[in-house]
Structure 1
């Protein structure tokens, strides 16, 4: 057994209260004077109380009730769980998962479904496992946490190795639809800017430039300071000149500049990087496919009172009922 809040065990001296109470509860007996008592020498009366079985049972029940209460406040747990495999439900019957479990020597381990936030879940609940227990996590993909997990048990992680496509299987560049509303003499500059964008970065995109928006349009470039866009034009992102005035409602996110298109290479690079970060947020970095993380703590993290086992609450309820019954029987005699 382990306690998550061991300071509560300093309350054990409270057990002396029932003992003191039972010692003070001496029965008073009625004495009647006898006529012949005057011939006897005077002596102080003495009382001798013989404890009955019901009194001993009542004292024992009250002591157990206090011990159960202190154990509940100290979050007494019984770490009986042993080696456990946390497996993604999608891999429960996968041959690769069975092979990884066998390779880790966890064939006889208990299997549980993988929690959504496995690292925080383990940190809150690992007090239920025996100190010598091991954890094996089998998942398709597990995001790397911001900080390395610090657990009190050894954790082995197994995920499928990332698939590397063959060079011949490289797909065609993705298309990104852009609407450019500008004068004919400035259209060539915009086309040159997007041609440079198509070769920048790690992802090669093919920009489809049109003059009318479609449902696939993700950017509208409004480079007409002397006019307002039609109210039917919609896009998640707009590039507008500051001289174009306030934009109507339902326009999406607006980026404005005093002069379009950008002529400075550094400014154009910054614009491109910000656009990519907004429209294509990077995914979470996956953790390495196979790794073993040793225990970083000697004991699990302290738990809250809500983590107290249910059997302790049930034991307190039962002991309280027994104590009330015994007290009633004792008074009725």
Structure 2
């Protein structure tokens, strides 16, 4: 839609029309000897001074610069480009670039989560015949992206990063809970310190109530009598929960889990609600050119230059207008 602002270029005729219509107001004073002079009709002359022409040019440039800023022009200047996700193995990148025939292409490092969105937003900067190669561990997008240029995606999954979650188990059945956490797979690893300020989950499998000063984002409790707030707890999938001053409290009559399936369901529920999902790597694919326009494009590099020019022209126009009136 921004390109439609070019239709406003005919408004450049307005300053020209305004300058041509302006006339210098001359005050007529009668003279005593004027009665001896032959009568002539008064005529109005348009006199163009150098300041008028300069002011007209400044105003036309100011209006044209404002229209160009609103239209946000972008000149295609990028050729074949390789977008490399940051942190990707350098040797693998070199092999893939050589195999794809992008040896002379420009390389552009970007965060893996922003690579595909960046390509889509900056497509106006690429020449008509430009090709793009995207390399790295690119997370799978929610919908299949569409590009106006041919894009080839080659991915390499990185090992999942280790994630330590601090869990404290308090009670007589501590070994059973620890065996359950030891069976947890994936990037999540559980350490078992004593409860402290950094503990994210406290498993309270004791008959007594915990100290009032003890806090944690999440509690798993087996004796709901020690937590009065559970009296009005809501229930979802067999788990009753309530928010308290200590943190969110979960409880169930089937704890600790009696079999591996129940332990798996409990751990997956915890992981889904309290930890970010693990991103899947997009499979290698080729995207054919599409005519579907993007919902939004990134601003072109010329827009900042046009804004500075706009400010400078406006200042000059005001200075010259003030000098002309004096």
What TM-score range do you get, normalising by the shorter chain? 0.5 to 0.7
Match of 2:81 in 1: 84
CA distance in 2, matches of 1:245, 1:285: 39
Match of 2:236 in 1: none
1:287-309 CA distances to partner (integer Å, 9 max, x unpaired)? Answer: 11x32223444544445889861
Match of 2:313 in 1: 319
Q: CA RMSD in A?
A: 4.9
1:60 aligned counterpart, secondary structure: helix
CA gap of 1:125–1:281, structure 2 versus 1, over 3 A, is: closer
Q: Give the number of aligned pairs.
A: 296
Q: Is contact 1:181–1:221 with CA below 8 Å preserved after alignment?
A: no
Match of 1:153 in 2: 149
Match of 2:205 in 1: 222
Structure with the greater alpha carbon radius of gyration: 1
CA gap of 1:44–1:84, structure 2 versus 1, over 3 A, is: same
Match of 2:66 in 1: 69
Q: CA deviation at 1:142?
A: 1.6
CA distance in 1, matches of 2:214, 2:18: 85
Residues 225-240 of structure 1: matches in 2 within 5 Å?
227-228=208-209, 237-240=219-222
Quick check: 1:58 aligned with 2:55?
yes
**TM-score normalised to structure 2 length:** 0.65
Quick check: 1:181 aligned with 2:178?
no
CA gap of 1:302–1:260, structure 2 versus 1, over 3 A, is: closer
Q: Is contact 1:58–1:327 with CA below 8 Å preserved after alignment?
A: yes
Equivalent of 1:241 in 223, 234, 239: 223
Residues 292-331 of structure 1: matches in 2 within 5 Å?
292-303=286-297, 309-324=303-318, 327=321
Q: Which runs of 5+ in 2 are unaligned?
A: 160-166, 230-243
CA gap of 1:105–1:56, structure 2 versus 1, over 3 A, is: farther
Equivalent of 1:257 in 248, 252, 266: 252
CA distance in 2, matches of 1:328, 1:18: 17
Q: CA deviation at 1:5?
A: 1.1
1:270-297 CA distances to partner (integer Å, 9 max, x unpaired)? Answer: 4454356468865111111x32223444
Q: Is contact 1:222–1:229 with CA below 8 Å preserved after alignment?
A: no
1:313 aligned counterpart, secondary structure: helix
Match of 2:138 in 1: 142
Q: Is contact 2:74–2:300 with CA below 8 Å preserved after alignment?
A: no
Q: Which has the higher contact order (CA 8 A, sep 6+)?
A: 1
Q: CA deviation at 1:134?
A: 3.1
Match of 2:162 in 1: none
CA distance in 2, matches of 1:16, 1:293: 46
Quick check: 1:111 aligned with 2:94?
no
CA gap of 1:330–1:254, structure 2 versus 1, over 3 A, is: closer
Q: Is contact 1:138–1:157 with CA below 8 Å preserved after alignment?
A: yes
CA distance in 1, matches of 2:256, 2:206: 8
